[in-house]
Amino acid sequence: MADSMIPYFSKDCRVFYSYTNEVLFLGATACRCFNEAIRLKNNKFKVWAEYGKCAYDIASYISRVKRFGPENLNREEMKQHRKRFYEQARVCFESANNIVDADKIWLNYYYLGKIAERSNILQALRYYELSDLHLALTGATYPCRLGYYNSYYTRYEIEALEVHYRIHSSVLKYIRRNSDKLSPKTLSQIMAF
């Protein structure tokens, strides 16, 4: 069901805003399917993780529609949909963390950090730190440099770099957005990461 949403996105990641209602309908349908799958197999890590990713992708789509969509859009309704899908994604990733699958748990913390960025930067940084810790525990290493052509990377090298990139970019975005109301205490807590 989640794959049926692919035609509503272009190859250059431009969102087709005229299909917003259809995407929301398909998202709700996909969530019903995932709920049934969870009812049948509650202890499957992959089901929880895929459900969370689907909910997160729909919430991200709604965010882009709110920001760049047409003027006649009901922004309050979109805000409620976005909040509901982000909350569902959070619940899914936290539920997936309760199922032991050591190789992929870092991804759950990564998504939990992305969700938490919208409300609590310190919590987001804690999630990113947990993601980085679990990557290190699975044997992730960091490349000395990034190759441009035909580079060979060992297991989870790019993912480890992505987590660190996300930490730095989220801190910079937060400081930029809140520079006028940023307290020294919060700034020192952020810089501790």
Q: Which of 35-49, 55-69, 91-105, 138-152 has the lowest mean pLDDT?
A: 138-152
The dihedral built from the CA positions of residue 65, 69, 73 and 76, taken in this order, carries a sign that is: positive
Judged by DSSP in three states, 185 sits in helix
Percent of the chain with pLDDT over 90: 25
Q: Where are the domains of the chain?
A: 1-100, 102-193
CA dihedral 49, 105, 85, 71 (to 10 degrees): -110
HEC string for 153-190: CCCCHHHHHHHHHHHHHHHHHHHHHCHHHCCHHHHHHH
pLDDT for 178 beyond 50: yes
pLDDT for 94 beyond 80: yes
Judged by DSSP in three states, 15 sits in strand
Looking at every residue in the chain, the average pLDDT score rounds to: 82
Give the residue among 80, 22, 91, 20 at the shortest CA–CA distance from 55. Answer: 91
Mean pLDDT of all residues in 83-99: 90
pLDDT for 99 beyond 90: no
Q: Quote the pLDDT of residue 13.
A: 47
pLDDT for 153 beyond 80: no
pLDDT in tens, 108-143: 999 999 999 988 889 999 999 999 998 888 888 877
pLDDT for 4 beyond 70: no
